[in-house]
Structure 1
Amino acid sequence: MNEFIQTLSLGSSGPSIAIKDTIDIAGYPTTAASRALADTPPARRHAQVVERLLAAGWHIVGKTNMHELAFGMTGINDYTGTPQNPQDATRIPGGSSSGSAAAVGLKLADAALGTDTGGSIRGPAACCGVIGLKPTFGRVSRLGVAPRESTLDCVGPFARDMRMLAAAMLAITADFDANAAHAWQGPCKVGIVQADATADILAAVARAADTANCTAHTLQLTGLAAAFDAGLTVINAETSRAFGHLVAGGKIGADLDARLRAAANTTAAQVDAAEQVRRQFTAAIDHALDNADVLILPTLPALPITLEEARSGKSVIAMSSLIRPFNLSGHPALSLPLPVEGSPLKAGLQIVGRKGHDEQVCAIAARFEAALAA
């Protein structure tokens, strides 16, 4: 099945979990779903998150497919196959952690691990109707994860419910407080970030805050658009350093070839300017969180486009407009399935919290989950 790169069975009979193919599992090659890395030797040891999962009694059932080299938003992969969107098979599953989101949505695993450099957990989660968490940058170990160096990338879990997502975080994070991740009780104050998204999704975000009995105020997050552009600059520079050499081999997919060639033109001056934006935007989020427990906004500005539209060249860069900025800042951000009035598909409610307060983000997400299910 194309939801998985390779099925396998490691660990005990505990909860099942699938692992994105940028994360090392000893004895298996880490190919990042790319023909250019197909001959990569098997990993000699597990990534630290895999070691922790096995030590906690989890059962690893497979390595998941993905957008090639984790450098794309659609999840389409003509080399390894494109994972099926569990909400609508005609639509893109989202990238880059497409297989991880699809595996959870199709109930092939209780949970999955993905990576998020520019929205690559939250985007697929929103597309596929599951929960996905990008932890605080640096909270979860990246030892044994490709690319080796990144100032944006985070390992995080997917699940169908908050209970399982918190269990996965407990397994992969040394200091995660599971008790603090239980559903938030008492007053809850949220800041609704003004966002460029479809009217029905914006209405669904506001309705969710009301349904969860949260005190809400609307705010403009200074520098959101600039942070999106700066995030693109940083990811281009860092991905070019990590994978740019593969272009010469001629085995990269056409979309990746073009993106990597363009990324190679990123200048040091552009990166320096992006780093200045990073500092300013991080401060703006911290300031906004002085007056709110969390910030909420859509995960994606619209429902996922169809596979046919994507293959016909429809631009998807705006898909990451509301998620990429929080990679730049490093704040924890979670996508929760969000009912949209008049649509059989769920969108994503993005919940952003203070750095290091991943448990609080999970607790408030659990509150929204319970309210929206009622």
Structure 2
Amino acid sequence: MPVAPERTVTATAPDRVGDPEPGPNRRSGAVRLRSLLSGRETPVVSALLVALLGAVLFVDMFATARNVDFLLLSVAAIALMALPMTLIVITGEIDLSVASTLALSSATLGVLWESGVPIETALWICLGVGALLGAFNGFLVTVCGLPSLAVTIGTMALYRGLAYVLLGDRAVASYPSAWVGGAREHFLGLPGLPWIAVAVLVLAVLFGVLLHATAVGRSLFDIGNNDEAARFTGVSVRWTKFWLFTLSGTVASAAGVFWTLQYGTSRADTAFGLELQVVAAVLLGGVSIFGGVGSVLGVMSGVLLLGVIRNALQLFGIGSEVLQVVTGLILIASVVTPNLVARLRAARAPRPSPPPAPVSASTKGEES
């Protein structure tokens, strides 16, 4: 009877004395680090740091407290509307009516104030109007089953037209000085830090926790990846999208109130075209236009990156027409670049080898 050879086991010594063995904790930490470095928001965060450094070094007056204050105030409304827009786009939908909702909220505030309604009451009415406008979008998308792109293009024109019906070509600029000045107040009196920037930061943290650390946030990603599969897991897709559009309208209305008090005037053409900057910031921040991917950190970085670029160009004396062109180019690049990267990765990925050909019966007979 043949005797099986003895198996010898050799223990490999560590490279250096005292090095711990690579356990599961170290491996999971390395995986998390690679995931962080390869995230979709990493390019926009890096671009923001480069843009800030370049603006500080090469643009006169950029790093002054007055200009930082102006920069943060100019992006506050965009950042507010970008937060709920992030959740909507992650679910595979879009809301292009946010700037028109902002304008209609501003016009409503102006009409109410002229009619003698107290400013405190008028603010709450404006928020209610914004919620109704967003709920109307949500109704058309979820109940009527219409595509959100077509719906919100239509309501973008509708809400802007209603703002013109309320105010026409005139402006309301008789708001209380205490409210107008309060919209530009600094947080704890710190120069260059308006209170609205701190409020946006707090909201961004709340939205980030909701999106990335709760079951509701996970359901939004599930809806964006496959709404049918999300429905089978018990997610109410229609109600979720409905409330997201309602939230978007409410926040856009709040942005309209802030915009009105910041500039001290209500006009029907307020924030015309601002929805392009909101969408550009969201897509630039790494949110996929097809849904299922995105982060609040990336979107806020995208908002700041757009603001820094526009502010630096303004300090160079560049006109508003060029700024609009730059925004359009950034919007196109934010859509095209992820697709190009995905295609390049797919092309470089190793292709699986074909399975071996089956052996026919005749071949087996010849071999035997």
TM-score band, normalised by the shorter chain?
under 0.3
- Max radius of gyration: which structure? 2
TM-score, length of structure 2 as denominator length: 0.25
| Higher relative contact order structure (alpha carbons within 8 Å, sequence separation ≥ 6) | 2
**Which structure: greater helix fraction?**
2
